[in-house]
Amino acid sequence: MSHTAKRLARKLKDEKVEWPPTEHRFFIPDSEINHRVREDTVREVLRELHPELNDRKLDQASVRICSEAPKLFTILLLCGSDQPFCSKILDFLDNHVADEDLPLARVYPPGERHYTLAKKDHKDCLGNHDGNCEIMAFSSWSWYDIEDFCRDQWQVLAPVFTSYVDHVRHYDLEGSTILPYIRDQQYESGAVKSGGYSRVWGVEIHPAHQKLLPLSDSSGPTIAVKQLNSSEQEDFDREYEMLSKLALTKDPHLIRLLATYKFKNQYHFLFPFAKFNLKTYWKNFQLDWEKKAVFWVIRQLLGLASALHVIHEFKTAAKEERFGRHGDLKPENILWFKSFEHTGHAGILQITDLGLGRFHRLESRSKQDPKDIFGSPTYVPPELALQKLVSRSYDIWSFGCVLLEFITWMLDGNAGVDAFADARMALAHDNVVDDTFYTVYSPGPGMYATVRPEVTAWIQRLRGRRRYSPMIRDLLDLVENGMLQANSADRIRSEPLKDRLEQIVEKAEKHPSSYMLGRVE
């Protein structure tokens, strides 16, 4: 190998990134290939390896390599320090093999123990004894050198994840793919969160391999990876259809699906990664009782209600309407992002975990068997305990619970949220102590439910707080009279809920001192 080729190979190897950790598999970032494999460097390598080429041919070859086959050239550099494999690049170009043909596919010729390599679209015809499909550049290679090429090609083929305006891209990745992660929390103790349908963890994608979110620093943003427990394509298709179409609504208060990929028979979804959910946000922040901070809170409440309305009226196609239900609204499924488009320093809240099985056809929009429902016990409505069919009003109850906790945090901080949970603790109808917002009674053969007395008492207690303003009064009235109704038919629907919150925001904007911050006398 030429002196220039050795030096270039060494520089590229120095930039390799290992993934997964400790498994001795590496990728070379695209940015390094683009930076190192330049026309002047390639020309010098070719001049040293092919002294028979004149200047014009050297110029033509170097331009073609850098425009059509920089990754192929890099693979040949990696294939060994003793053999000048990169000198074979001209043979590959003569065979019309370039970066667009990678990865080259394994093919076992009839009667042969070792494989050769072919273009992906020639894989089948070579297996059917068509010698015209073979890449003749490999004809003089030993089988073990071909194996080295097959292994080393994956070092330059880490995917570049990209987001698009009009669709969500899906990537079908081969099992030999090396993912472009510079940090992968699935290999860190306690970093993976597991649920009934999926596992979620954070990754940092090499900046050259993610075009999903803006780069805030040299390492790039953290991305959340959601891996479905199910490997069934039908389950993936259902989730992908819902999340990709919701992403295209561009609702700022709904988590946005960035991309998806299938890897080793597992389906993965990529989302923005949030440092805090609403529960941890309450623990880490206190509300300053001043105009700007309180404005932010009530605008977030309106935004969440608007996003819930989008979910409830979700449609997938003109011929087949589907009406959504989130099914697990709780503080842990509302995320806080510090920075988001046009949100300023206060950040934004977004609803997440729009999980499997939560979107139902028109014929079942108001009737689903409660035995098939899964949600967080604290925030589920009483119809589950009563074994009544559930509808989208399920979410209204859950959202009402979250709003009441949110108001509690506004008035009393996180200590108040914890105290409210303690106050709700009571013996339920199944002789288990829980902190739900309702109580079930069975005085006779049947059962009925009411809002738990401790919840009603807590609302009255909040009305006596120092920060009890006309705005807080209206919010509590909305929760108590419109959302936390034991009879699901009595609950407000998502559109009038959004309208009521819009009215509250408008009043706060017009009269911040008296309506939003002033105390009710």
CATH number for the domain including 344?
Answer: 1.10.510.10
- Average pLDDT score, the chain: 88
Domain count of the chain? 3
The confidence score (pLDDT) of residue 2 equals 80
If asked whether residues 512 and 376 sit together in one domain, one would say yes
Which pLDDT band, with edges at 50, 70 and 90, does 260 fall under?
A: very high
Which residue is associated with the tokens 């035995």? Answer: 371
State which of 26-35, 382-391, 427-436 shows the largest mean pLDDT.
Answer: 26-35
Which tops the pLDDT comparison, 80 or 465? 465
Distances (CA, A) of 445 to 34, 101, 448: 76, 72, 10
Which of 237, 272, 307 represents a domain boundary (last residue)? 272
The confidence score (pLDDT) of residue 360 equals 40
Asked, for residue 316, whether it belongs to a domain, the answer is: yes
Which pLDDT band, with edges at 50, 70 and 90, does 108 fall under?
A: confident
Which pLDDT band, with edges at 50, 70 and 90, does 197 fall under?
A: confident
Tell me the residue range of the domain where 345 lies. 276-516
Task: Answer whether residue 80 shows pLDDT above 70.
Answer: no
What value does the mean pLDDT take over residues 30-55?
94
The confidence score (pLDDT) of residue 110 equals 67
If asked whether residues 359 and 457 sit together in one domain, one would say yes
The confidence score (pLDDT) of residue 121 equals 72
State which of 382-396, 419-433, 466-480 shows the largest mean pLDDT.
Answer: 466-480
The confidence score (pLDDT) of residue 343 equals 55
Which pLDDT band, with edges at 50, 70 and 90, does 500 fall under?
A: very high
Task: Answer whether residue 227 shows pLDDT above 90.
Answer: yes
Task: Answer whether residue 230 shows pLDDT above 70.
Answer: yes
Range with the poorest average pLDDT among 171-180, 181-190, 430-439, 493-502: 430-439
If asked whether residues 295 and 431 sit together in one domain, one would say yes
The confidence score (pLDDT) of residue 205 equals 96
Task: Answer whether residue 132 shows pLDDT above 80.
Answer: no
If asked whether residues 91 and 150 sit together in one domain, one would say yes
Task: Answer whether residue 284 shows pLDDT above 50.
Answer: yes
Which pLDDT band, with edges at 50, 70 and 90, does 420 fall under?
A: very high
Q: Estimate to the nearest angstrom the gap between the alpha carbon of 134 and the chain centroid.
A: 41
- Of 510, 275, 290, 504, the C-alpha closest to 410 is 290
What value does the mean pLDDT take over residues 48-68?
94
The confidence score (pLDDT) of residue 171 equals 98
What value does the mean pLDDT take over residues 462-469?
96
If asked whether residues 84 and 54 sit together in one domain, one would say yes
Which pLDDT band, with edges at 50, 70 and 90, does 408 fall under?
A: very high
CA distance 496 to 325: 17
Q: Torsion angle of alpha carbons 128, 129, 130, 131, nearest 10°?
A: 150
If asked whether residues 127 and 262 sit together in one domain, one would say no
- Of 472, 366, 368, 470, the C-alpha closest to 416 is 472
What value does the mean pLDDT take over residues 379-400?
88
- Of 170, 167, 163, the C-alpha closest to 261 is 170
If asked whether residues 221 and 330 sit together in one domain, one would say no
The confidence score (pLDDT) of residue 460 equals 98
The confidence score (pLDDT) of residue 447 equals 82
Which residue is associated with the tokens 């033509």? Answer: 60
174-195 CB burial, b ≥16 within 10 A, e <16: eeebbbbbbbbbbeeeeeeeee
What value does the mean pLDDT take over residues 395-417?
98
Asked, for residue 521, whether it belongs to a domain, the answer is: no
The confidence score (pLDDT) of residue 13 equals 94
If asked whether residues 364 and 455 sit together in one domain, one would say yes
The confidence score (pLDDT) of residue 82 equals 57
Asked, for residue 128, whether it belongs to a domain, the answer is: yes
If asked whether residues 323 and 249 sit together in one domain, one would say no
If asked whether residues 209 and 283 sit together in one domain, one would say no
The confidence score (pLDDT) of residue 85 equals 76
- Of 238, 241, 207, 212, the C-alpha closest to 224 is 212
Task: Answer whether residue 35 shows pLDDT above 80.
Answer: yes
If asked whether residues 385 and 432 sit together in one domain, one would say yes
Task: Answer whether residue 319 shows pLDDT above 50.
Answer: no
Q: What is the pTM of this model?
A: 0.88
What value does the mean pLDDT take over residues 82-102?
86
Which pLDDT band, with edges at 50, 70 and 90, does 338 fall under?
A: confident
% of the chain exceeding 70 in pLDDT: 87
Asked, for residue 489, whether it belongs to a domain, the answer is: yes
Task: Answer whether residue 512 shows pLDDT above 70.
Answer: yes
Which pLDDT band, with edges at 50, 70 and 90, does 374 fall under?
A: very low
Asked, for residue 268, whether it belongs to a domain, the answer is: yes
Asked, for residue 205, whether it belongs to a domain, the answer is: yes
Which pLDDT band, with edges at 50, 70 and 90, does 355 fall under?
A: low
User: What CATH number is given to the structural domain containing 254?
Assistant: 3.30.200.20
Which of 272, 300, 317 represents a domain boundary (last residue)? 272
If asked whether residues 292 and 172 sit together in one domain, one would say no
Asked, for residue 252, whether it belongs to a domain, the answer is: yes
CA distance 163 to 153: 25
Asked, for residue 486, whether it belongs to a domain, the answer is: yes
What value does the mean pLDDT take over residues 76-88?
75
Range with the poorest average pLDDT among 47-51, 317-321, 492-496, 506-510: 317-321
CA distance 389 to 369: 5
What value does the mean pLDDT take over residues 182-202?
91
What value does the mean pLDDT take over residues 253-278?
96
Distances (CA, A) of 147 to 105, 111, 122, 287, 381: 11, 18, 18, 62, 60
The confidence score (pLDDT) of residue 484 equals 98
Half-sphere exposure of 360 (CA within 13 A, CB side): 17
% of the chain exceeding 90 in pLDDT: 67
What value does the mean pLDDT take over residues 231-244?
92
Which pLDDT band, with edges at 50, 70 and 90, does 123 fall under?
A: low
For residue 207, the 8-state DSSP code is: G
Q: In this structure, which amino acid lies at residue 221?
A: P
Which of 90, 122, 156 represents a domain boundary (last residue)? 156
The confidence score (pLDDT) of residue 316 equals 61
